[in-house]
Amino acid sequence: MYDKTVLDNGLRVITHSMPRMQSVSIGVWLGVGSRNESRDTSGIAHFLEHLVFKGSKKYSCQQIKELIEGVGGALNGFTSEEATCYFAKLPKAMQFQALDILADMALNPLLKQSDIDKERYVILEEIKMHRDLPQSHVHDLFQELLWPGHSLGAPILGNDKTILRLSRRDLASFQKKCYVSSETVIAACGRLEHKEILKKIKEKLGGLQNYSKNTFDPAPGYEQSARIRILRKDIAQTHLALGFYGINRDHPDKYIYSLLHVIMGANMSSRLFSEVREKRGLAYAIGTYIKGFADTGTFLIHAGVDNTKLVQAIEVIAGELGKIKEKRVCANELRRAKDFYIGQLSLALESTLEHMFWIGEPTLHLNKTYKFDEVLKEVKKVSACDIKRLAGEIFKAGKTRLAVIGPVKEKGEEKKLYGCLRNL
> Three-class SS of residue 400?
coil
Q: Alpha helices of 27-112 — where are they, by DSSP H?
A: 44-52, 61-69, 95-107
Phi then psi dihedrals of residue 316, to 5 deg:
-65, -45
- Decide: 338 and 354 in contact? Cβ < 8 Å: no
* Cβ atoms < 10 Å from Cβ of 149: 10
**d(Cα 356, Cα 112) in Å, to the nearest integer?**
31
> For the chain, how far is it from start to end, CA to CA, in angstroms?
45
- Decide: 365 and 249 in contact? Cβ < 8 Å: yes
**At residue 50, what is the residue type?**
H
Phi then psi dihedrals of residue 240, to 5 deg:
-130, 150
Pick the catalytic residue from 37, 49, 320, 361: 49
Q: What is the DSSP string of 13-26?
A: EEEEE-TT-SEEEE
Beta bridge partners of 185: 12, 29
Please confirm, yes or no, whether 49 is among the known catalytic residues.
yes
Radius of gyration in angstroms for the set of CA atoms belonging to the chain, rounded to a whole number: 23
Return the active site residues.
Answer: 49
